[in-house]
Structure 1
Amino acid sequence: MFPLLHIYPPTAEHTHTVILLHGRGSDGPELAEDLFAGRNLSSDFPSIRWVFPTATTQRSTVFQEDMTEWFDIYSLSDPDSRGELQLPGLRNSVEYILGLIEDEVQRLQGDAEKVILGGISQGMATSVWALLAGGRKLGGFVGMSGWFPFAGEAEKGSPVEAVRSRIGLEGWGENEVQHTPAWLGHGEDDAYVDIEVGKRAREILGRVLLKVESKTYKGAEEEGHWIKEPEEFEDIAGFLGGIIRTV
């Protein structure tokens, strides 16, 4: 169902893998090109294997056209609305991402703490669900300009169980996800995913994870819905560097 992975292999001994998910309407190769044009993180971290998956092409209810998206969503101003549109894609995408994580863990001799997961916009929304559904302690999580799907449900009880029940994974596997450090960035002037939606995601993650660092930025390209140069790139590099140095 999913297109081929776009991969930047390590240029030194492989110590870590970063899996990053693109936003709606984009794809893995485009995210990689745009990301490394802003700062060549691949050169900064030669031991990282960069994995950029691409979502399936499906019908967007809002735009009434076929486009790449991890799940269908009706409104970014109210991401909880029309949940019945979101769930099929979320289930499929989370299952797919969990499989990718497992593949990379095996490449790294079974060490899940050497896998870093994340994404931007809808890619963050999908990857944060995969993080909580999987329950593993990963090396880290990087979320940019995104939100938490079904935030209202997650705020009423356990965010982990809210995610797992929605995708049919109640009681699935061990849960050590709270030990995964997370870094979140969001544009204060984001015209597509409002900063308040991002703050809500940070609050929910803060109820699960023991360490969540978040920063806001102003003046990024794409009407604030992109990574702010150079500050946000430097902060992401600093977060990754802290993980790499633990080897």
Structure 2
Amino acid sequence: TAPSREVSCYDGWWERTPKRAAEGSSKVSGPGGMGVEKRLAPRWRLAKFLSWYDYLSNYDGRREDHIDWQSLGAIQRALHGIIRQEVQELGGRANRVIVGGKSQGCCTALDAALTYPQALGGFVGVVGHLLSCTPVESDGPQAATPLHFFHEPEDTIMRWDWVQRGERRLREAGYRVFARRRPDPEGHGHFVEGVEGAWIRSALRSICSPSQR
């Protein structure tokens, strides 16, 4: 699960906080001792949510947002540590480790996988994309690693018109990309629910099949 991060980079996540009537006004003395209601300025609060890294923009799904590299670098190092621990517990067999994520978690996990120094067993990403800042080397450690992606055609947050450029970048570098665009039967677009499990299981079956080894 992503850590709870406080994002303060742009105005889009500042929210007006509703006030109760008792908080929204105050009584002051007016002429002749009459009570006069004085309206108070609205309060604003910084939205806080679960996030793997901080954003520096909000294009509302129209294009890839700018991100804070330092926050991404911190989580990249943390994920590398987790992967190393898994590899150690598997007797040094990095090709037995499969990494994956959904939405922003997909972007983060893919960045961690592509920057990991040993070849991994595979990757599974749901409604996410390759970050522009993630390096893609034609002879990188994951060049032969099966990379599975699932996209929802009605996704308005990770829109296919710009998400596909990242996968094209991977293919042009010689990576093994398996991308699928499948509708969510429940019609939730980016916020896919039950079908997500079926998508992931199909990718795992493919990765673990003898023909992929």
TM over 0.5: yes
Residue of 38, 57, 65 corresponding to 2:5: 57
1:244 Cα deviation from its structure 2 partner: 3.1
Structure 2 CA distance, aligned partners of 1:58 and 1:104? 29
1:92-145, Cα deviation, whole Å (9 max, x unpaired) = 111111111101001111100111111111111111111121142111001111
1:136-157: per-residue Cα shift (whole Å, max 9, x none)?
2111001111122226xx7xxx
Q: 1:124 aligns with which of 106, 130, 154?
A: 106
Give distance in 2, aligned partners of 1:135 and 1:244.
21
Q: Once the 2 structures are TM-superposed, how far is the Cα of residue 224 of structure 1 from its aligned partner?
A: 0.5
Aligned partner of 2:88 in structure 1 is: 106
The correspondence of residues 76-225 of structure 1 with structure 2, limited to 5 A, is 76-81=61-66, 83=67, 86-150=68-132, 159-160=136-137, 175-219=140-184, 221=186, 223-225=188-190
Residue in 2 aligned with 1:43?
A: none
SS of alignment partner, residue 179 of structure 1:
coil
Rounded to whole Å, the distance in 1 between the matches of 2:184 and 2:171 is 26
Q: Tell me the alpha carbon deviations over residues 139-177 of structure 1, each in whole angstroms, 9 at most, x when there is no partner.
A: 1001111122226xx7xxx6349xxxxxxxxxxxx9421
**Residue in 2 that maps onto 1:10:** none
Could you tell me whether the CA contact under 8 Å between 2:154 and 2:189 is conserved in 1?
yes
Distance 1:92 1:130 in 2: 11
- 1:147–1:197 Cα contact (<8 Å) kept: no
**Runs of 4+ with >4 A deviation:** none
- Where does the alignment leave 5 or more consecutive residues of structure 2 unmatched? 14-45
Structure 2: distance between partners of 1:184 and 1:59 = 28
State the AA in 1 paired with 2:111.
Answer: W
CA distance in 1, matches of 2:81, 2:167: 25
What residue identity is the alignment partner of 2:102?
Answer: I
Q: Secondary structure at the match of 2:191?
A: coil
| Helix, strand or coil at the partner of 2:7 | strand
**Distance in structure 1 (CA, Å) of the matches to 2:117 and 2:187:** 33
Q: Relative CO higher for 1 or 2, CA cutoff 8 Å, sep ≥ 6?
A: 1
Displacement of 1:238: 2.2
How far has the Cα of 1:56 moved from its partner?
4.3
Q: Which of the two has greater helix per residue?
A: 1
What's the offset of the Cα at 1:225? 0.8
In structure 1, runs of 5+ residues without a counterpart are 1-27, 29-53, 162-173
1:242 alignment counterpart: 206
Alpha carbons of 1:228 and 1:214: their partners in 2 closer, same or farther (altered >3 Å)?
Answer: farther
